[in-house]
Amino acid sequence: MMDFWNLNLTTGFSGVAGLIFWAALAVPLYVYIGYPIVLAVISVFTPKKQPEPGYTPFLSVLICAYNEEKNIGQKISQTLKLDYPADKMEVLVLSDCSTDSTDAIVRECQDPRVRLLRMEQRRGKTSAQNQGVLHARGEVLVFSDATTVYHPLALRYLACNYQDPSVGAVSGRYQYFDPQSNSPTGMGTIAFWNYENFIKKLQSRIQTISGCCGCIYSVRKQAYTPLPEDIISDLVQPLQVIRKGYRVMFEDRALAYEETTQSTTEEFAMRVRVVTRAIRGVLSVRDLLNPLRYGWVAFQLWSHKVLRWLIPLFLILLFASNAMLANRPVWNWLFVLQLVFYLLVAVAAVRPLSKYWKPLGLPLYFCTLNAAALVSLVQVFRGRKYVVWQTVRQR
């Protein structure tokens, strides 16, 4: 009788562990593969023609900067040389209390289209943008970073979308490059943003995207909403635009070139700050998570944001449930595969395997993203806020 009960308990325990395993596996598969497939299928039935350049509203280019003396001069020069009518553009440099010569370099610029706006207190990028908008004269606001290089036609491509009065914001496209060609995070960053751009393109074709690319996005000034300083503007500003009844478009011809981070530590720290601010941002507009009221937007947010941030929890469940079944046929091979994967990540963390074969850096980048998401969840739970930032990339 005792053997019978032991057998039933063992069978029941194995059954529960198996269910947890498959459920924990299903979520990442849906987020990374299933969701893009759903978008691709829907987009087939909703073809969209891109607008032709020609519409040129007055633009205010807002460049947030903190201690960017190595980059700000080149950024201003490159912006002024972009292919856009000179009399329909201004450049506002928003210095978040820089302590180097950033402000002096901006003041030395003789072009009347360039203005410096120095913050009275250092309160971060989002706060600086709020202040910059108050001083901007443009019908359309373009938000950029000091290290970002735009394609010569980027502004024209962004602007032409505003011919449609239903469009309230337009995002450009990140084009990352790795100057060292073999940095631990280079290939991972490039692959990740190519994937993100693909998803944004499908979302935009169907109806609207739910988040923009931070160093190249634009907003119709009348649709701009001042935001709390502890949330990420390139995610929440588009969501506020949607709440006002506008659409947010993705313009993949408007390219912004940006360097990848050069170390896993830098990438991890940056992702923790970004994801923490993003989670707090979505919580600030939590009504958009209601599918009964905002069906398409809620579907995007749950599939592309919320579930993605929860992936590390499902990865932990996947590993733990598989470990409980590791003494059984088939399950033992699945467990070995997981062990090999994480062993590869551990080795890559101390020795850049991507130097030998670039795809070997992808597992490390995958785990870096998810480890950062896990830490971000904890930070939000603890009430941690990220407001200011430190300059990382220097050219």
Question: Percentage of the chain surpassing pLDDT 90?
Answer: 74
Closest CA to 263 of 389, 178, 377: 178
Which of 287, 216, 225, 302 lies closest to 254, judged by CA? 216
Q: What does the angle CA 176 – CA 182 – CA 188 come to, to the nearest 5 degrees?
A: 50
As its CATH architecture, domain 17-395 has Alpha-Beta Complex (3.90)
* Residue 68 reports pLDDT greater than 90: yes
CA 243 – CA 88 distance, rounded (Å): 29
Of 242-251, 303-312, 359-368, which gets the smallest average pLDDT? Answer: 359-368
Which tops the pLDDT comparison, 353 or 287?
287
Cβ-proximal residues to 229 (8 Å cutoff; 6+ apart), any chain? 123, 124, 126, 127, 130, 387
Query: What average pLDDT does range 50-56 have in this prediction?
Result: 94
Helix ranges restricted to H, the chain: 2-29, 35-44, 72-80, 102-108, 125-135, 154-160, 186-206, 233-243, 264-284, 295-300, 307-324, 331-350, 362-381
pLDDT exceeding 70 applies to what percent of the chain?
Answer: 91
Tokens (6 digits) for 375: 């830490």
Among candidates 190, 299, 315, 320, which has minimal Cα distance to 242? 299
> Which pLDDT score, from 0 to 100, does residue 5 have?
34
What are the extents of the domains in the chain? Answer: 17-395
Summarize pLDDT for 150-163 with one digit per residue, the tens.
999 999 999 999 99
Report strand pairing: 216-220 vs 140-145: antiparallel
Question: Average pLDDT over the chain, rounded to whole?
Answer: 90
Q: Compute CA 344 distance to the chain's CA centroid, rounded to the nearest angstrom.
A: 26
Amino acid at 145: D
Average pLDDT of span 166-178: 91
Query: Alpha-carbon torsion 252, 257, 259, 261, what sign?
Result: negative
List pLDDT tens digits, range 206-234. Answer: 999 999 998 999 999 999 999 999 889 99
Output 375-380 pairs: Cβ under 8 A, ≥24 positions apart: 375/272, 376/271, 376/272, 376/275, 376/276, 376/278, 376/279, 376/309, 377/279, 377/309, 377/310, 377/312, 377/313, 379/272, 379/276, 380/276, 380/279, 380/280, 380/283
Tokens (6 digits) for 328: 């059984």
Cα–Cα distance for residue pair 144/152, rounded to 1 Å: 14
Q: What mean pLDDT do residues 362-377 have?
A: 93
Q: Between 88 and 8, where is the model more confident?
A: 88
Give Cβ neighbours of residue 6 (< 8 Å, ≥ 6 apart). none
8 Å CB contact between 66 and 98: yes
